[in-house]
Structure 1
Amino acid sequence: MSNKSFTFSRFLKNILIMAGIGIIFVLFFFFIYLPSSTNHNETITVPELIGLTFDDLDEFVIKRDLRYEVVEDSGYSETSDPLSILSQNPKPGSKVKMNRKIYITLNAMVPPKVKMPNLINTDVQNAEDILNTNGLKLGSLTYEPNLANNAVLAQTMNGKAIEAGTSIFKGSSIDLVIGDGEGVQRFLAPNFIGKTLDDVKFQINASNLKLDVINFIQVDSVDVNTIYKQLPPAGSMIRSGSLIEIWVNGNDANNEVPDEAPEGDVKMEK
Structure 2
Amino acid sequence: MKTRNRILRWLAACALCAACGAQAKGIEKTVDYSVGDQPYRGYIYYDSAGPKKRPVVLMVPNWMGTSEANRRQARQIAGRDYVVFLADMYGRDQQPANPDAAGKLVGQLYGNRLLLRTRVKAAKEQAQAAVKRLKLPANAERIAAIGFCFGGSTVLELARTGEELDAVVSFHGNPSLDAPAPSQPPKTRILVLHGDSDPYVPVAQINAFLDEMRTAKADWQMVRFGGAVHSFTDPDANQPGKAMYDAKSARRAFAMMRDFLADSFAGR
TM range (shorter): under 0.3
Structure holding more strand per residue: 1
Which structure has more helix as a fraction of its residues? 2
TM-score norm. by structure 1 comes to 0.21
